[in-house]
Amino acid sequence: QSVLTQPPSASGTPGQRVTISCSGSSSNIGTNYVYWYQQLPGMAPKLLIYGKNQRPSGVPDRFSGSKSGTSASLAISGLRSEDEADYYCATWDDSLSGPVVFGGGTKLTVL
Amino acid sequence: QVQLQESGPGLVKPSQTLSLTCTVSGYSISSGISYWSWIRQPAGKGLEWIGRIYTSGSTKYIPSLKSRVTISVDTSKNQFSLKLFSVTAADTAVYYCAREGPGMGLFDYWGQGTLVTVSS
């Protein structure tokens, strides 16, 4: 059971906008930055979003992150077939002596 | 370009010790502004952070593994290592090393991952 809760699956058609949620608590998402990672099949995860909706170089602006209270969301606009992957949220938890915690992951299918 | 590469045995017997090393290139591990972490992923499951080490040698581990894990650093070789003691089949996973920071949970560079199977 993950500390952060994500829907196990999401889907959309090419060009559509999809959002993936990540729910936590006041000791993690409520007080800390949330990071988002994309994991393509058979590959290592890749950082997508950090800080206040910042993207590493090379990540298209179709990806955006937001946070409200104890929940966070990743939005993908202009969905493309290559966006089909697993997506994970992550932050750290102050109540558990500060370990990094991940969401359970959301598998995004592009129909 | 920062690169990380895991190395170590792909098969470990139950009750023995899992030992992995991460070799960092393109960045000095002793630069002092990053943490160095290990993360694992059982087949078909999500990511689990194991722990981190700072170049000073200070460490932090996930509470559920704290009694069985040690992370160390060798700045002369630009490497850091993971030891997981008394392994069981539940420790079978792909193990990733990653550079973390400046924020905790911000992993900007990852190794490709190495599969470690615990089996007799």
The tens digit of pLDDT for each residue in B21-31 reads: 999 999 999 88
Query: pLDDT 10s digit of each residue in chain A, 111 long?
Result: 788 999 999 999 999 999 999 999 999 999 999 999 999 999 999 999 998 899 999 999 999 999 999 999 999 999 999 999 999 999 998 886 668 999 999 999 999
CA distance A102 to B96: 14
CA distance B74 to B57: 9
Q: What is the DSSP string of B60-96?
A: EE-GGGTTTEEEEEETTTTEEEEEE-S--GGG-EEEE
Q: How far is Cα A80 from Cα B108, in angstroms, rounded to an integer?
A: 23
The shortest C-alpha distance from A77 to chain B (Å) reads 23
Question: Of B46, B104, B108, which has the smallest distance from its Cβ to A100's Cβ?
Answer: B104
Q: Do A33 and B106 touch (CB under 8 A)?
A: yes
Given CB atoms, is B102 within the 8 Å cutoff of chain A? no
Q: Of B71, B76, B77, nearest to B36 (Cα)?
A: B71
**Given CB atoms, is A69 within the 8 Å cutoff of chain B?**
no
Among residues A51, A44, A87, A93, the alpha carbon closest in space to that of A70 is found at A93
By the CB < 8 Å criterion, does A65 face chain B? Answer: no
